[in-house]
Chain A
Amino acid sequence: MKLRKVSTAVVAVASLSLALSACGGESGGGKKSDKIVIGIKFDQPGMGLKTQDGKFTGFDVDVARYVAKELGYSEDKIEFKQAPSAERENLISNGDVKFVAGTYTINDKRKAKVDFAGPYFMAHQDLLVRKDDNSITKVEDLNSKKLCSVTGSTSAQNVKEKLAPKANLLQQGGYSECLNGLENKTVDALTTDGTILAGYAAQKEHQGKFKLVGLKMSDEPYGIGLKKGDKDLQSKINAALEKMQKDGSWKKAVDANLGPANYIADPAPAITEKG
């Protein structure tokens, strides 16, 4: 009796899951055609941020929306998915997202696994210091300074290996922890891409406390990452990016998102990633 009950239950569950998966496959296929999933950062004010009420803001988000519009998807057909730095390549190659626009620096190692469109923005590694601190004017000054960055990030490695090997480098889990240290004077400067720093400096709770030094310690050409070999999508996105620059939306998006932090952006870079 008992065995029978169990076996019926097993059969029921199996058939149910079969039915569900079939169903999922169908609706998933249907969804694919009318929705687009885009990978962005959720935690970078000014570039890609999910606000507490569930909205998305930032320059990357504006670019993503513009490109999606050019690809034929209206605003309500866009689904944003969080794409943390280390997972971007896998999200793209697994097909979880159509493309990624999230402070995604184009480089050769990444190009081995994904293709890029763009670049659509030229960023540089920079420093954020307290408003009244004028003691850092060049990269070498960092050797006698206390510096903060995020654990394992490219910026942190740049400092350790190339820019200022003697700097006292504190690595924290997130930039917010670094800002806390900067405010309490346990660290003198915070380093990563200037765009991200500008976003933090422009946040309401930090306004007027910090400033960007304006050093160009590296070149970070941001591109849109997409599946390797999808030349069609690549040229479409490139066309969209070019149009965005021409019709003034690019400038408007830069001013709206990075303007409040007095970030001086490079002019729009020429598109180099072509098929």
Chain B
Amino acid sequence: MFDFLSSGRYDLLGAFWVTVQLTFYSAIGSLIWGTLLAGMRVSPVPLLRAFGTAYVNLVRNTPLTIIIVASSLGLYQTLGIALGAGENFDDIGFRLAILGMVVYTGTFVCEALRSGINTVPVGQAEAARAMGLGFTQVLTLIILPQAFRSVVAPLANVLIALTKNTTVAAAIGVAEASLLMKEMLENETQALFAVFGVVAFGFIVLTLPTGLLLGWVAKRVAVKR
């Protein structure tokens, strides 16, 4: 039943390695972009606030598949934007997929972080302002460090969702786990459930430790109030 694994035809580990890489780069990008968005949403500048709100509400309600396919069809195939990846479709797809993931996942990071900001007592910001700190300083020195500590668990959920969402990159030909699953299903239909099970198991191996580890971290760093 599992003989397709030993045939040497399918590079399962390689495919999951691409999944891990996609997740890693997208997670870093999303964290940066999400923090910036959260900063915009709580900033005193009305225009930035409006942009942040509009962006988050628009993008998080757009299906990820549409965002990823649009980045391939729209950005690359129509406008020729390859993000400096040259001519190789593997590189282009990989970078466009990361861009799509960051654009999408950033909104969820932003919302998690904004709820974290709400857990910081108002007095903290008032005290910081009274000391003469500007908005950026209040945010980066006082508010965000406390906010981050209280949203580790929600961010872990976002990370797990992101790990699974990377499968959408198969739609634009990134050779990650779900693309390999498609290939295996095409050739090994007699082992349909075995193929599915192996890939599902791979994702459990990726996401379960993430959840456990970050759950433990969340408990350790949470601000006790």
Max count, chain B CB within 10 A of own CB: residue among A85, A112, A113, A172: A172
Interface residues of chain B: helix, strand, loop or mixed (majority): helix
CB contacts (< 8 Å) of B87 on chain A: these are 146, 168
Contacts A151-B170, A151-B179, A152-B182 given; does A113 touch B189 at CB 8 Å = yes
Contacts A86-B185, A157-B187, A170-B93 given; does A151 touch B173 at CB 8 Å = yes
Which single member of B80, B89, B182, B185 contacts A170 (CB below 8 Å)?
B89
Docked CA distance A170–B190 (Å): 27
User: Does A110 lie at the interface of the complex (its beta carbon under 8 Å from any beta carbon of B)?
Assistant: yes
User: Does B125 lie at the interface of the complex (its beta carbon under 8 Å from any beta carbon of A)?
Assistant: no
Q: What 0/1 readout, one digit per residue, does chain B (69-94) give for beta carbons within 8 Å of chain A?
A: 10011001110100000011100010
CB contacts (< 8 Å) of B181 on chain A: these are 152
User: Does B172 lie at the interface of the complex (its beta carbon under 8 Å from any beta carbon of A)?
Assistant: yes
Q: Is the CB of A181 within 8 A of B179?
A: no
Interface residues of A in 83-113 (CB under 8 A from B): 85-86, 88-90, 109-110, 112-113
User: Does B128 lie at the interface of the complex (its beta carbon under 8 Å from any beta carbon of A)?
Assistant: no
Looking across the interface, which residue of chain B has its beta carbon closest to that of A85?
A: B186
Q: Is the CB of B186 within 8 A of A173?
A: no
Q: Is the CB of B89 within 8 A of A151?
A: no
Max count, chain B CB within 10 A of own CB: residue among A90, A110, A170, A180: A170
User: Separation in Å of the A156 CB from the closest CB of chain B?
Assistant: 8
Interface residues of B in 171-203 (CB under 8 A from A): 171-173, 179, 181-183, 185-190, 192
Q: Is the CB of A186 within 8 A of B189?
A: no
CB contacts (< 8 Å) of B182 on chain A: these are 86, 151-152
Q: Is the CB of B89 within 8 A of A152?
A: no
User: Does A230 lie at the interface of the complex (its beta carbon under 8 Å from any beta carbon of B)?
Assistant: no
Which single member of A88, A152, A156, A172 contacts B189 (CB below 8 Å)?
A88
CB contacts (< 8 Å) of B72 on chain A: these are 172, 177
Which single member of B93, B171, B190 contacts A113 (CB below 8 Å)?
B190
User: Separation in Å of the B76 CB from the closest CB of chain A?
Assistant: 7
Q: By the criterion of a CB under 8 Å from any partner CB, how many residues of chain A are at the interface?
A: 27
Q: Is the CB of A172 within 8 A of B173?
A: yes
Contacts A146-B87, A151-B171, A170-B93 given; does A89 touch B189 at CB 8 Å = yes
Docked CA distance A113–B1 (Å): 13
Q: By the criterion of a CB under 8 Å from any partner CB, how many residues of chain B are at the interface?
A: 26
User: Does A52 lie at the interface of the complex (its beta carbon under 8 Å from any beta carbon of B)?
Assistant: no
CB contacts (< 8 Å) of A152 on chain B: these are 170, 179, 181-183, 185-186
User: Separation in Å of the A190 CB from the closest CB of chain B?
Assistant: 13
Q: Is the CB of B186 within 8 A of A153?
A: yes
Looking across the interface, which residue of chain A has its beta carbon closest to that of B88?
A: A168
Docked CA distance A156–B175 (Å): 12
Docked CA distance A89–B195 (Å): 15
Which single member of B78, B89, B187, B189 contacts A169 (CB below 8 Å)?
B89
Docked CA distance A151–B76 (Å): 18
Docked CA distance A85–B185 (Å): 9
User: Does A249 lie at the interface of the complex (its beta carbon under 8 Å from any beta carbon of B)?
Assistant: no
Contacts A109-B187, A157-B186 given; does A168 touch B89 at CB 8 Å = yes
CB contacts (< 8 Å) of B187 on chain A: these are 109, 154, 157
Docked CA distance A69–B64 (Å): 45
Q: Is the CB of B186 within 8 A of A86?
A: yes
Q: Is the CB of A154 within 8 A of B186?
A: yes
User: Separation in Å of the A84 CB from the closest CB of chain B?
Assistant: 10
The 10 sampled A-B contact pairs (Cβ below 8 Å) are: A112-B190, A113-B190, A151-B182, A154-B187, A168-B88, A170-B173, A171-B173, A172-B72, A172-B171, A177-B69
Q: Which A-B residue pairs are the 8 nearest by beta carbons?
A: A152-B182, A171-B173, A170-B89, A152-B183, A86-B185, A89-B189, A173-B171, A186-B77
